[in-house]
Amino acid sequence: MRKHEIQSQKLNEDFHKFSAKTLKFAGEYLSSIESYSVLPDTQPGELKARLPEELPEKGEDFNRLIDDTAEFIAPAMTHWNHPGFMAYFNSSASLPGIMGEILAAVFNNNAMVWKSGPGSTELEEVTLEWFRKLVRVSPQFRGFIYDTASVSVMHAFSAARENLNLGIREKGLFGRVLPKLKIYASEQAHSSIDKAALLLGTGLDGIQKIPVDENFAMIPEELEKKLSEDISNGVLPLAVVATIGTTGSTAIDPLPKIAEITNKYKVWLHVDAAHAGVVSMLPERKDLFTGHEAADSMVINPHKWMFVPLDLSVLFIKNPDVLKRAFSLVPEYLKTSADDTATNYMDYGIQLGRRFRSLKFWYVMRYFGREGLCDIIRGHLDIAHYFLEKLKTISGIEILAPLNFSTICFMHNPGISDQEELNRYNARLMDEINRDGRIFISHTKLNGKFTIRVVFSGINQTKNTADTALEIIAKTIKSL
Ligand SMILES: *Cc1c(COP(=O)(O)O)cnc(C)c1O
């Protein structure tokens, strides 16, 4: 036999042995995750210095790969599945999601066109219909999976731009005169909106930030004022973004009022619910998306708060044909005679190659079911309320934003009147809390105040997690 034939035979024979070894490591890691500090004790360059500079000449024993993962890689990880991970917006992976992800790699399917992946194409359609109904998005919308919300919003704005019929697809942006395009979003909107502006050619100057009220939600009157002023000055609005659950404080922009305005001025309305959108599956929060029927596109990330491992973001779009108009380009070698009722996902985005993301999503939805998912998310909301009540009893704590979901925004004031000094004190407080190792929290700025954020959305978080966090916060305040 030739060398490569021996290799191929060995790979199949070894699969059983090494998959068992890998999964054993995975199970042990997950069940002992609390023995790690959430943030690793490592410095920039430290891991690189510990690893060989050159690849091995001869293949190595697989067992050594696992051993080295345990010895070198795990200690250099920030542990997103750790219950003490309360920073940013947590993305935690659950058992069914992990298993689905493994099997997606096993199938290694590339669903450019239906024919190259009938199973993954149709499973994406089925799971996204399930998800659409689960989170009460109107049947006027159709879902598409992209990797992250930043990419989803880029696709939404590309469709919005195509919808303006400026001939950009054919003639491009340069060497001719076009109106000024602008995107309207609140001061608290996510930076991915600005990134999409960079990519789509409106420039940062084409982002109009709309002021927010005392709850950090967009003031619709300010939006209308700016829109009408701009339009009378010849600006062409590209899109308005309403955020349901801003990244800083989880503020909720007033969607029904914003929708009235975008209807009146005929502007594309995009809803960014990347983190908090999943909450609308709860019967008691069924009104979260009231007004979204008038929107053109929406983003929700199941990889954030639905226990699907990174990455999986869903873009719902009302008119998928305009997305197709923006992106469809069929090279000769991909022309299919197959019937054109089938979806060819390459037509709906910048990617040609497309991995099988829906499998892990299907696993998660089937394993937990609607009830199970609601129970976990409701649990997080309850833990957050419990945490808030206890936190308030610590002397000097100031709550800086309403608790809309499960993100608590606060600072501690030991009696400092100068804002800059108070900000420095809270930055130091946060760093000291994180140094404990059992929890990891992050911050934002609200009204110029350094704001500590604690988020409960991880699959492994319980009331005990909240108690641990409270204990560490109180202990650290005393020690400063
Ligand atoms: C996290 C977040 C994003 C960006 O999500 P990615 O998937 O990391 O690109 C956008 N908008 C909001 C409101 C978010 O919370």
With a 6 Å cutoff on the Cβ, whether 190 touches ligand 1 is yes
Q: Is 301 in the pocket of ligand 1 (CB under 6 A)?
A: yes
- Rounded to the nearest whole angstrom, what is the distance from the C-alpha of residue 190 to the centroid of ligand 1? 7
> Is there a domain that residue 179 lies in?
yes
Strands of the sheet with 449-455, listed across from one edge: 397-399, 407-412, 449-455, 442-446
Q: Is 159 in the pocket of ligand 1 (CB under 6 A)?
A: no
Ramachandran quadrant class, 245 (left: phi over 0; alpha: psi -120 to 50; beta: rest): left
Report which protein residue has its CA nearest ligand 1's atom 12.
274
Query: Over the chain, what is the mean pLDDT?
Result: 95
CA dist 255 and 244 (Å) reads: 8
Q: Is the pLDDT of residue 403 over 90?
A: yes
Give dist(CA 438, CA 471) in Å, integer: 11
Decide whether any atom of ligand 1 lies within 6 Å of the 226 Cβ.
no
The 10s digit of each residue's pLDDT in 56-112 is: 999 999 999 999 999 999 999 999 999 999 999 999 999 999 999 999 999 999 999
What atom of ligand 1 comes closest to residue 245's alpha carbon? 13
pLDDT value at position 338? 59
Number of structural domains (the chain) is: 1
Q: How far is the CA of 246 from the centre of ligand 1 (A)?
A: 9
Asked whether residue 448 is assigned to any structural domain, the reply reads: no
pTM: 0.96
For residue 428, how far is its CA from the centre of ligand 1 (angstroms)? 27
Q: How far apart are CA 434 and CA 78, in angstroms?
A: 12
Residue 287, in any domain of the structure: yes
Distance 301 CA to ligand 1 centre (A): 8
What's the chain's Rg over C-alpha atoms? 24
* Mean pLDDT, residues 222-241: 98
Residue 365 belongs to some domain of the structure: no
Whether 453 lines ligand 1, by a CB cut-off of 6 Å, is no
433-436 LR contacts (CB < 8 Å, sep 24+): 433/472, 433/473, 433/476, 434/38, 434/39, 436/472, 436/475, 436/476
- From the CB of 150, is ligand 1 less than 6 Å away? yes
**Assigned domain for 60 exists:** no
Q: Distances from the Cα of 179 to the Cαs of 6, 143, 165, 182, in angstroms?
A: 63, 31, 12, 10
274 lines ligand 1 (CB under 6 A): yes
Average pLDDT score over residue span 9-26? 90
**Which atom of ligand 1 lies closest to the CA of 313?**
7
- CB of 186 closer than 6 angstroms to any ligand 1 atom: no
Domain, as residue range, for 293 = 109-355
The answer as to whether 167 is a domain residue is yes
According to the model, what pLDDT value does residue 4 have?
A: 79
pLDDT greater than 70 at residue 262: yes
Q: 315 pairs with which residues across the strands?
A: 144, 299
Q: Tell me if 457 CB under 6 Å of ligand 1.
A: no
pLDDT for 337 beyond 70: no
pLDDT of 83: 97
Residue 335 covered by a domain = yes
User: Ligand 1 atom 4: the closest Cα is on which residue?
Assistant: 149
CATH number for position 237: 3.40.640.10
Give how far the C-alpha of residue 349 lies from the chain's centroid of Cα atoms, to the nearest Å. Answer: 18
In a domain, 29, yes or no: no
Distance CA 406, CA 48 (A): 37
CB of 249 shorter than 6 A to ligand 1: no
How far is it, in rounded angstroms, from Cα 23 to Cα 27? Answer: 6
**DSSP at 294:** G
